[in-house]
Amino acid sequence: MTFLLRTIGYLFGIGSVFALIGAAGVAWYVSSMGSDLPDYTALRKYEPPVMTRVHAADGSLVAEYAVERRLFLPIQAVPDLIKQAFLSAEDKNFYQHNGIDPSGIIRAIVTNVRNRGSGRRPVGASTITQQVAKNFLLTNDPTVDRKIKEAILSMRMEAAFTKDKILELYLNDIYLGLGAYGVAAASLVYFDKSVHELTVAEAAYMAALPKAPNNYHPFRFPDRAIERRNWVIDRMEEDGVIDKATADAARAEPLRVTPRHTGPHLVATDYFAEEVRRRIYQLYGESGLYGGGMSVRATLDPKLQVLARKNLNAGLMKFDVQRGSWRGPVERVDLATGDWGIPLSKVPPLIDVPEWRLAVVLSVSDQDAVIGLRPNVEVSGAIASERDTGRVTLSTMSWKRRMLYRTDPQKLVGRPSGRVPPNQFTYAGINKMSQAVSPGDVVYVEKVPEEGEDIWRLRQVPNISGAMVVMDPHTGRVLALVGGFSYGDSEFNRATQAWRQPGSSYKPFVYAAALDNGYTPASVIVDGPISIADGMGRVWSPKNYGGKYGGPSTLRLGIERSRNLMTVRLAKDMGMPLVAEYSKRFGIYDDLLPYLPMALGAGETTVLRLTSAYAIIANGGKKIVPTLIDRIQDRYGNTIYKHDARICEGCVAETWAEQPEPTLIDESEQVLDPMSAYQITSMMEGVVQRGTATVVKQVGKPIAGKTGTTNEEKDAWFVGYTPDLVAGVFIGFDQPQPMGKGATGGVLAAPIFTEFMKEALADKPSVAFRIPEGIKLVPIDRTSGQRVSGSGGNVVIEAFKPGTAPGEGVSIVSDFSYTGEGGGQNRRVSPEAERAVYSGTGGLY
């Protein structure tokens, strides 16, 4: 017995020694694991990547930019339902444990032993604190070392942070699938709702996702998703978060997931949104754009944007129908499989042209074609079961001719005629539907409700391009911007990236420079032939559009009728360096070459630049900087960028003590005399009333503007304005080429401007242009520039600066040598001398 006791004591002693050694080893191991852990205190200042959101002027969401789609939500703003759902699913003892949940570990062990061999996924025992430690500070390596570090960090974090802070980090950081990080973003991405609007079933589904979101994908694995969601609902009922009736109702709900659109959220804003994105990138870089959590208030007016896009596209399609041809299908699919919906669904539509649908031609006769409409496609790629069909009739066929390719047409599908070498195609008329389409052709179609419920017309992306910009002339705020027919077809922005010749739409700035330097609207210039040597043995002989001459004419008449020869003489008389200086002031060109052809708009600029320059004239000559962004705030609501730099000393007041309204101090540079600005505005009103843009009179309100057409009709422009709104329109092929005889700014661009302004100003009062103080209004003959009395077809009320109204004579700008007193080149001479020269009795020029 004694021996037995000694043996037991001996063994116990040895065991104790080994236990102490083991404990020491464990202590040393744990100590070594905790010696070089990441600095968890950095989480106090943790700023997760948060998506940047762009809003229109009315607050509508335009676009969101993020690598990790996340909206940071303070814990105080997280609804209790969301908190309770995640705690029931992930860590029901969260508010009781110190970072590690022993009961949860035991429960997980028991559950995993019970499920052994069943094929079920092992149950984890990590607390929310442990998940935060792993996600923020450690890796996902499935090792013992990592688990011990995780446990140590969890206990230290529990001692350093409040439970709410830890839960806040968790709910804003977790990945929940479909590119969404955090509960706020996931609520929008999955249900297009705020977290405060979620139902019990929706909150439970979100709480089901952290473990493995791809395993519970709502479209790929809907059964698994519902099973996991219902498991969370069971846990919520078990924890007393919801009662049985609520739980039963939630379990019975179908899984209604409505994914949020990830592109621009407003119709027709793609070009505008992309331009804003580029600007934010320039200001704050990639990290700021995609993770800075900025709130961007854009200048966009959604109503004007829709109008601009609608009218520009209508003008482009009109040109394509009247001057173009049917160019064939966008794609072809094999109908031999029988189910045309599947191959058709793989052809991407133009999502920014919602009026159109893709369709496949199923059968064709002489008078019509039966089409199958592209079915709706869910996120999962599942194809809708229904197969809608319709008809395209020959009577709705807008194009009168079709393009016939000399080579395999499939090699040229999707390439408009403007991008296809001329030797690759010819034309033929369309007398039968079968001459336009064939079975298997994939085409765009648009509904024709007036023709019948199932009648559609063929559509195609025009091969002509264009752009439109709408601005507030007083602030430079871009209210609408359209860079082409469809961003989905071409991301190239013709409003900001296309450098084109403005042609005659540049002339107002030559005339403005003249008015600012001693000329008046009644100054007379000869509209007659002129030849100028370029110093290299060549002679330049410009001509008017149409080839005719008008003789001595006033500046007003010259701009109303867009006379090239008068503009060249005027620029020659002033000197091109002065014209170049004014071009720079207006922001049209940075460094205009001082050559006379540039006075006719031969230099290249953009629609945005030229429209901004017209805005300066419209606002009375004050320089403006065009902007698509009003204000940018950081994630904390601090304003970090503001476009409006005007000073307002009295705008911040704690109380109102009957003080007067604050006054904004505008320190903008005056680049044009206000009187000169009004004079050129009045002259451009004449362009609309009597000149090259009479179609604009249909708007029925005071409008000034100027057409522009370049050589061989390669570019067509119209830029115009009211006292408070300016808009510029450009039409032309991406690769400059003639658009056809008569394709002028007045024929192509001005009608688009007109239709836009009709709708934009429909509910606005008619406002006359503001007349600066000191301007004298005098009736004159608009041809001779002489003061007249009474009224008549050739009489206009002209604006003159003090002391410049016409008297007995009138000055004429010529370009011949004059030997009179003080003679020399480019003198102003008497009307009699000038008329003698023009009639051929006074010399040649």
Q: How far is residue 455's CA from residue 368's CA, in Å, rounded to a whole number?
A: 10
Show Cβ contacts of residue 583 under 8 Å, excluding neighbours closer than 6 positions. 509, 589, 592, 603
Residue type, 6: R
SS3 label, residue 470 = strand
**Segment (H or E) for 838:** helix 831-838
Q: How far is residue 226's CA from residue 564's CA, in Å, rounded to a whole number?
A: 74
Residue 299's closest CA among 666, 716, 626, 650?
Answer: 626
Residue type, 8: I
Residue 301's closest CA among 608, 55, 639, 623?
Answer: 55
Q: How far is residue 373's CA from residue 387's CA, in Å, rounded to a whole number?
A: 7
Residue 506's closest CA among 686, 345, 709?
Answer: 709
Encoded tokens for 336: 């031999």
Encoded tokens for 242: 């919801």
Residue type, 5: L
Active-site option among 126, 325, 434, 504: 504
Question: 39: buried, middle or exposed (CB in 10 Å: 19+, 13-18, 0-12)?
Answer: exposed
DSSP 746: I
Q: Cα–chain-centroid distance for residue 95?
A: 47
DSSP 713: G
Contact 302, 479 (CB under 8 A): no
Backbone angles phi, psi at 241, to 5 degrees: -70, -40
Half-sphere exposure of 42 (CA within 13 A, CB side): 9
Judge whether 491 counts as a catalytic residue. no
Q: How far is residue 662's CA from residue 652's CA, in Å, rounded to a whole number?
A: 9
Judge whether 504 counts as a catalytic residue. yes
Q: Are strands 441-447 and 455-459 parallel, antiparallel or unpaired?
A: antiparallel
Residue 606's closest CA among 485, 481, 470, 502?
Answer: 502
Question: 123: buried, middle or exposed (CB in 10 Å: 19+, 13-18, 0-12)?
Answer: middle
Q: How far is residue 729's CA from residue 469's CA, in Å, rounded to a whole number?
A: 7
Beta bridge partners of 373: 359
Q: Where are the beta strands (DSSP E) in 557-703?
A: 629-633, 639-642
Encoded tokens for 404: 């016939």
Tokens 């004007």 sit on residue? 304
Residue 669's closest CA among 622, 600, 728?
Answer: 622
Residue 691's closest CA among 550, 583, 582, 791?
Answer: 550
DSSP 319: H
Q: How far is residue 566's CA from residue 828's CA, in Å, rounded to a whole number?
A: 14
Active-site option among 64, 88, 90, 811: 90
Q: Are strands 524-527 and 812-813 parallel, antiparallel or unpaired?
A: parallel
Q: How far is residue 39's CA from residue 255's CA, in Å, rounded to a whole number?
A: 41
Beta bridge partners of 55: 61, 297
Contact 366, 434 (CB under 8 A): yes
Interior CA angle at 728 toward 726 and 732, to 5°? 175
Contact 146, 179 (CB under 8 A): no
SS3 label, residue 527 = strand
Number of Cβ within a 10 Å radius of residue 14: 10
- Residues annotated as catalytic are 90, 504
